[in-house]
Amino acid sequence: MSELDFFIKNNRLFSQIGRAEVESLCARRHPFKYRKDELIFMHGDPSDTMYFLGLGLVRLSKLSYDGRKFTLDIVEPGGFFGELCLAGETERRSIAEAAEDVSGFEIKKAVFERYLIKRPEVAIKLIKIISDKRIEMENILEDMIFMDVESRVVSLLLKYTEGGTVKLPLTHQEIADMTGTTRVSASRAIVTLRKRGLIDTNGHRIVLTNENKLREMLQHSSNGKSGKPACATEAASERQPKFSR
């Protein structure tokens, strides 16, 4: 399968456009490759490019003023990132790094904008996808405010599960970064869930041994979101990070 065929099949935007349109848009694409842990862009870099991921995983994150990291999203093959350049962002406000060896292609903002002017229906589809991402981010922030650490960990595991297994190889530190807590608290939550027979590990993957029970736990926690924020009762070490802008 060619690179373009892969994106036509797996990318939410390209899958609705058609091959001829994708070929037209991607005629001026540039390939990229990064090794694991390499930075693709960092806070303050010029925001003038969209990235389309073909292989590997990309971690999008922000750093708080005291140096703590919060993972905003994990981009999977077929996804894209850097799209805020189309929304007026002139400098990057987040960090993109390769969570493993990655490759794909990039398209400059000016090229993409010219294409969208000619195809407003594609622009509408892109707005819908970006809006869905925004809603998902608001849900994550809501979880951080109203859910305790264990519930946030459960929410994360369910988000990335596929066939009863978490499809991303997550360390305890990465789980902490993705749930806005410390490694110690994330590890404590994982141990508790394992002792209760709700999860297990298979190599570097986490297996959900009782997915229905985990969903019930999460539903119960969600029903209590209107109550007192969980962060108000957490220890000082669990206080919510203040991010650089």
Question: Under CATH, which architecture does the 3-134 domain have?
Answer: Sandwich (2.60)
Confidence of residue 242 (pLDDT cuts 50, 70, 90): low
List pLDDT tens digits, range 198-224: 999 877 789 999 999 999 988 887 665
Question: 95 φ, ψ to 5°?
Answer: -115, 135
CATH architecture of 148-224: Orthogonal Bundle (1.10)
231 pLDDT above the threshold of 60? no
33-37, 102-106, 140-144: segment of lowest average pLDDT: 140-144
Q: Record the tokens describing residue 209, joined without a space.
A: 């041994």
Cβ pair 10, 77 in contact under 8 A? yes
Domain segments of the chain as ranges: 3-134, 148-224
**Max mean pLDDT range (57-61, 120-124, 241-245):** 57-61
Looking only at the bridges linking them, the beta strands covering 49-55 and 80-81 are antiparallel
DSSP category for residue 147: S
Angle in degrees, 0-180, between the axes of helices 120-146 and 149-159, rounded to the nearest 10: 150
More confident residue, 153 or 220: 153
Q: Mind giving me the DSSP string for 219-244?
A: HHHHHTTTSS-GGGTS-GGGPPPPBP
* Domain 3-134 identical in fold to domain 148-224: no
